[in-house]
Structure 1
Amino acid sequence: MDRELALEVTRVTEGAALAAAKWLGRGDKIKADGAATNAMREIFDSVNMKGRVVIGEGEMDEAPMLYIGEELGTGNGPEVDIAVDPIEGTTIVAKGYTNAMTVLAIADRGKLLHAPDMYMEKLAVGPNAAGKVSLSDPIEKTIEIVAEASNKKVEDVTVMVLERPRHEELIDQIRKKGARVKMFSDNDISASIATALPGTGVDLFVGIGGAPEGVVAAAGLKCLGGEMQGRLKPQNDAEIERCKEMGIKDPHRILQLDDLVAGDDAIFSATGVTSGTILGEAKFLGGGLVETDSIVMRAKTKTVRYIKTVHNLEHKPYIIQDND
């Protein structure tokens, strides 16, 4: 992939965040998501690449744009696969909570897992524990491994877990082991990435969430030298068949990082809509100016860029629209 793509796709997540931020706290997650999707689609079409959506808003008959199989870009440049989430945390934006962001990952054609829209059991760690953990291990053993790798006491290890009834037993096991539990309401991409970023205080992410989000997070962790493992959790025969249709012959096997994102290169970009663990919110400064906070990373070079940008909305009318 061309290195220029890293900054080009940051324009995409920035534009989506600007559009979504208009709907912060207004109680309408549908309009927030629609605004972000429209902006993302508009800017993608100016990027020099032959892009194909492999993880998007759904199938063609479910989503008018950014659907699986959609072609994006100018048609010139590298052939890439794209995984997008116009808003990771639509409910968060609608209610004005923390940790919503716009996010995407790109890789060379054929390198991103075409993850079906179903549950996935996940485990994520940073570089210190990468290569030392396994999703098949009991959580108690995993905590011990992470503690040793991080030069911490078990009681100082922080584990991120999505707050859902299905995780009650897992949370109880972590607490009995003596580790710290940090729960969150949505956006497990941010929680996964936090394990590999210095300064977040997060050591381990575990739990069951969306499979597509697992692939996007895996791209970010590959850029950071961390690790993501996943195991699909199909709920019925139809979902098992769906896995096979998408090339996953054994839906129950543990997927390693290279299964989720193959090869040595990937680009991950995210922009904050609301303030969160890894990014600040889109701030309306007055006079038509908005400041965004983004992160963009590339796996091949392990470069991580934090980008603060001030946008003049007067010159970006295609981003802020009513979306009625």
Structure 2
Amino acid sequence: MQRQNETATRTGGDIHTLEAVALAATRAAAVASYAWVGRHDQKAADAAATAAMREALAGAPGRGTVVIGEGEKDDAPMLFNGEVVGTGNGPDFDIAVDPLEGTSFCARDLPGALATIAFGAPGSFWSPGPGFYMDKIVVPPRAKDVIDLDDPPERTLAKVAQALGKQVGELRVVIMDKPRHKELIARVARAGAAVQTPAGGDVGGSLAVLLPTLDVDLLIGVGGTPEGVMTAAAVRALGGGMLGRLAPQRPEEAEAIRAAGMSLDRVYDCDELVGGDAFFVATGVSGGPLAGRPRESDGTTIAESLLISRGEIRHITHTTFDKISG
């Protein structure tokens, strides 16, 4: 609480007054990248989302600093770490961002692509430095006190099932379909749980765990650190449980982490990943159960968003007069 009071004083205002700014930024990114849905050009879709989001954030009241951006690990277009946006006439705020989460879904016209962003009071977001990947686990509020990243998956399943009042065979688990997860997927399946294996999109998978309307109980596995910090903003806002640990995927990444004086063994909980007041926003790009894709109707463009803030999930429909261009 002391840290939140300090950051509130530094910002000179309530971070939640910027929710409309974040919604406008993800909406702009979603509409811009939707023009590339199904065109099999991930870089072009990512570039369109990034440019539109950067333009939307340029007019934000206040001074926003990108603490954790997306793109460095795969040489993609990005809002870069340390980039400053906004007019300066308002509160300071920090940003964690992925303008297009699920670029492959967008390129292949598969459900799950989202434009995502999190805003926090200054100093709220943990920075992973040169660490691009992290091992993570996300659970609903009732299971937040039983998780341990050092547990084998079978024990994790048993503990989460007990906390949720279920049998292991009733659990539904999200694990991204990556070569690094081959053994993990096999072990979870052998233990009796149902496994969803999307090709990417661990932010979307984590949101599915948090939303009571979706039948998902747990997300585990290695994903991106930007996605991890944004996920933590949503988890913290809703009282869920999350743990993360840096998990470099290449020797040079591990060496860079060590050179930065960071530990490869330390486990961070949700309140360490996001240590101050924050909120999370996502807007649908290629559709799916979280948010529909942008669409045109009677001369207007309609987009669907999720705002996760202060213990609430709000489903928001934006209607504007700008057009989707292809």
Same fold (TM over 0.5): yes
Q: Could you tell me which residue of structure 1 aligns to residue 142 of structure 2?
A: 128
- Structure 1, 233-242 or 85-94: larger mean CA deviation: 233-242
Amino acid at match of 2:160: V
Tell me the alpha carbon deviations over residues 153-172 of structure 1, each in whole angstroms, 9 at most, x when there is no partner: 21110000101121111111
Give the deviation of 1:321 after TM superposition: 6.0
Computed over aligned residues only, the root mean square deviation of the Cα atoms, in angstroms, reads 2.0
Q: Could you tell me which residue of structure 2 aligns to residue 242 of structure 1?
A: 256
Q: What is the distance in 1 between the residues matched to 2:263 and 2:53?
A: 34
Give the deviation of 1:65 after TM superposition: 6.0
Q: Could you tell me which residue of structure 2 aligns to residue 312 of structure 1?
A: 321
The within-5 A match list for 1:112-261 is 112-115=125-128, 116-235=130-249, 238-243=252-257, 249-261=262-274
Q: Could you tell me which residue of structure 2 aligns to residue 317 of structure 1?
A: none
Asked if 2 retains the 8 angstrom alpha-carbon contact of 1:230 and 1:256, the reply is: yes
Asked if 1 retains the 8 angstrom alpha-carbon contact of 2:70 and 2:226, the reply is: no
Q: Could you tell me which residue of structure 2 aligns to residue 294 of structure 1?
A: 305
Amino acid at match of 1:313: D
How many residue pairs align between the two structures? 310
Which of 16, 29, 33 is 1:16 aligned to? 29
Q: What is the distance in 1 between the residues matched to 2:105 and 2:60?
A: 29
Which of 107, 112, 120 is 2:120 aligned to? 107
Residue 93, structure 1, aligned to residue 103, structure 2: no
Change (3 A) 1:96 1:65: closer
Q: Could you tell me which residue of structure 1 aligns to residue 39 of structure 2?
A: 26
Residue 69, structure 1, aligned to residue 87, structure 2: no
Q: What is the distance in 1 between the residues matched to 2:152 and 2:61?
A: 46
User: Sequence identity of aligned pairs in percent?
Assistant: 40
Q: What is the distance in 1 between the residues matched to 2:142 and 2:287?
A: 27
Tell me the alpha carbon deviations over residues 66-96 of structure 1, each in whole angstroms, 9 at most, x when there is no partner: 2111101111222211011110011211110
Give the deviation of 1:17 after TM superposition: 0.4
Change (3 A) 1:64 1:21: closer
Q: What is the distance in 1 between the residues matched to 2:77 and 2:202?
A: 25
Q: What is the distance in 1 between the residues matched to 2:226 and 2:96?
A: 8
Give the deviation of 1:57 after TM superposition: 3.8
Structure 1 runs of 4+ with >3 Å offset: 62-65, 235-238
Q: What is the distance in 2 between the residues matched to 1:30 and 1:5?
A: 29
Give the deviation of 1:30 after TM superposition: 1.6
Higher percent of residues as helix: 2
Which of 266, 285, 294 is 1:282 aligned to? 294
Which of 29, 32, 39 is 2:52 aligned to? 39
Asked if 2 retains the 8 angstrom alpha-carbon contact of 1:221 and 1:228, the reply is: yes
SS in 1 for 2:175: strand
Give the deviation of 1:134 after TM superposition: 1.0
Q: What TM-score does the superposition give when structure 2 sets the normalisation length? A: 0.89
Asked if 1 retains the 8 angstrom alpha-carbon contact of 2:15 and 2:278, the reply is: no
Give the deviation of 1:222 after TM superposition: 0.8
SS in 2 for 1:162: coil
Asked if 2 retains the 8 angstrom alpha-carbon contact of 1:268 and 1:297, the reply is: yes
Asked if 2 retains the 8 angstrom alpha-carbon contact of 1:58 and 1:68, the reply is: no
SS in 2 for 1:110: coil
SS in 2 for 1:92: helix
Q: What is the distance in 1 between the residues matched to 2:185 and 2:251?
A: 29
Q: What is the distance in 1 between the residues matched to 2:121 and 2:48?
A: 28
Amino acid at match of 1:119: Y
Give the deviation of 1:235 after TM superposition: 4.3
SS in 1 for 2:197: strand
Give the deviation of 1:7 after TM superposition: 2.2
Q: What is the distance in 2 between the residues matched to 1:306 and 1:166?
A: 34
Which of 78, 81, 97 is 1:84 aligned to? 97
Q: What is the distance in 1 between the residues matched to 2:37 and 2:122?
A: 35
Change (3 A) 1:95 1:236: closer
Asked if 2 retains the 8 angstrom alpha-carbon contact of 1:121 and 1:209, the reply is: yes
Give the deviation of 1:8 after TM superposition: 2.0
Amino acid at match of 2:81: I
Q: What is the distance in 1 between the residues matched to 2:296 and 2:22?
A: 22
Give the deviation of 1:123 after TM superposition: 0.5
Asked if 1 retains the 8 angstrom alpha-carbon contact of 2:139 and 2:219, the reply is: yes
